[in-house]
Amino acid sequence: MQLSIVAPLYNEEESVEMLHESIVVAVSDAGYDYEVIFVDDGSRDKTLQIANDLALRGDRLRVVEFRRNYGQTAAMAAGIDVAQGDIIITMDGDLQNDPRDIPKFVAKMQEGYDIVVGWRHNRQDKLVSRKIPSKIANWLIGKVTAVPIKDNGCSLKAYRASVIKRVPLYSEMHRFIPAMASMTGARIAEIKVRHHARQFGESKYGLSRIYKVLLDLLTVKTIVGFAQRPLVWFGLLSLPFFLISLVAIVTALIPLFLGDGTIIMALAGTGVLLGAVGIFLVLGGAVGELIFSTGKFDLAKLSTPLVVQEFNLSQASPPDNQVS
């Protein structure tokens, strides 16, 4: 399988059929061997039923069903999990992304990139509640993660399957995939994409998303910065405390050495206190090591060397209705 196209759907009944049709047209024209994966994120309208009907009519659509609404990132992660293609394309299910851009993504991937990110340079969303917060967020994400990307929030992205499958995805984390994947040394490119105003249904998000995204940014920063050896980072942090503690204690003891028979209690106390802070920092680092190695971040996967295989797209077989 060459291409997997993954779209999360939450109450998108008016869009599903058109979305499927436009994806099929865009990728069949290009002659790829592909599959489409729709993830129904617990929709309460007819989305699931329509998607299942479409899947019954053709072999190339698979539907993943959630019992309840888990959120866009979880839906994307589930789709990525079952995807079998060498290249995985994610996109929104509300027709705001345009499947006609897919061949551009594939072409860019063939240049040797691991992730290609869409940039909605002509974004058709509200200015105050969407475009301005997004501009600030993208600037901040670029600064904090040191992976500058103009439009992290654009769902239309392409990934080398072996890269995306090792990135942990939860909360609103799909926005930070490029930053997380950069840990593996992934090569990232950005291309301009079309963007349409929402035709049907309504946006599932309000301003509350901003807070979640900010907290996720903190998590990502911690993972990207500290993941490899938390103990080393905490150890470095504790170093000034140990140094000052040592100086304070030695100074406190000077009168004793001079035969005074006393010690400077205030300094000695400060020294012991700072030394204790240093010890707690080191212990914090040790606990960090434990959490990171046993927790839900599969960091072992993120830091194993990435072996790159060429895509075999040149021998694209013409699409037929067989499942391969």
**Can you give the binding site for ligand UDP, defined by CB under 6 A?**
8-10, 12, 41, 69, 71-72, 75, 92-94, 96, 203-205
CB of 122 to Mg ion, least distance (A): 15
Binding partner selected for residue 238 from ligand UDP, Mg ion, none, CB under the kind-specific 5 to 8 Å limit: none
CB of 19 to ligand UDP, least distance (A): 9
Binding partner selected for residue 69 from Mg ion, ligand UDP, none, CB under the kind-specific 5 to 8 Å limit: ligand UDP
**Joined tokens for residue 249:** 């204690």
> Residue written as tokens 């293609």?
85
Residue 145 binds Mg ion, judged by CB under 5 A: no
Query: Are the C-beta atoms of residues 263 and 256 closer than 8 Å to each other?
Result: yes
**Joined tokens for residue 19:** 């979305």
Q: Considering the complex, state which of residue 11 and residue 245 has its C-beta at the smaller distance from ligand UDP.
A: 11
Binding partner selected for residue 35 from Mg ion, ligand UDP, none, CB under the kind-specific 5 to 8 Å limit: none
User: Residue 61, Cα to own-chain centre: how many angstroms?
Assistant: 25
Query: Are the C-beta atoms of residues 270 and 248 closer than 8 Å to each other?
Result: yes
Backbone Cα Rg of the chain? 26
Q: Considering only CA atoms, which of 94, 74, 71 is closest in space to residue 156?
A: 94
Q: Considering the complex, state which of residue 46 and residue 187 has its C-beta at the smaller distance from ligand UDP.
A: 46
State the helix-helix crossing angle for 209-226 and 132-145, rounded to 10 degrees.
Answer: 10
CB of 231 to ligand UDP, least distance (A): 37
CB of 125 to ligand UDP, least distance (A): 7
Query: Are the C-beta atoms of residues 83 and 90 closer than 8 Å to each other?
Result: no
Distance in angstroms (rounded) separating the CA atoms of residues 303 and 283 = 23
User: Residue 165, Cα to own-chain centre: how many angstroms?
Assistant: 11
CB of 223 to ligand UDP, least distance (A): 23
**Interface segment toward Mg ion; rule CB under 5 A; list 22-30, 46-54, 96-104, 114-122:** 96-104
Q: Considering the complex, state which of residue 19 and residue 248 has its C-beta at the smaller distance from Mg ion.
A: 19
Query: How many residues sit close enough to Mg ion to count as binding (CB under 5 A)?
Result: 2
Phi, psi of 304 (to 5 degrees): -75, 145
Residue 151 binds Mg ion, judged by CB under 5 A: no
Among 4, 47, 73, 96, binds Mg ion (CB under 5 A): 96
Distance in angstroms (rounded) separating the CA atoms of residues 250 and 232 = 26
Longest CA–CA span in the chain (Å) reads: 95
CB of 93 to Mg ion, least distance (A): 9
Q: Considering the complex, state which of residue 4 and residue 11 has its C-beta at the smaller distance from Mg ion.
A: 11
* DSSP-assigned letters across all residues of 163-189: HHTTS---TTGGGGHHHHHGGGT--EE
**Cα dihedral 200, 206, 212, 213 sign:** positive
Binding partner selected for residue 12 from Mg ion, ligand UDP, none, CB under the kind-specific 5 to 8 Å limit: ligand UDP
CB of 201 to Mg ion, least distance (A): 9
Binding partner selected for residue 204 from ligand UDP, Mg ion, none, CB under the kind-specific 5 to 8 Å limit: ligand UDP
Residue 94 binds Mg ion, judged by CB under 5 A: yes
**Binding interface with Mg ion (CB under 5 A):** 94, 96
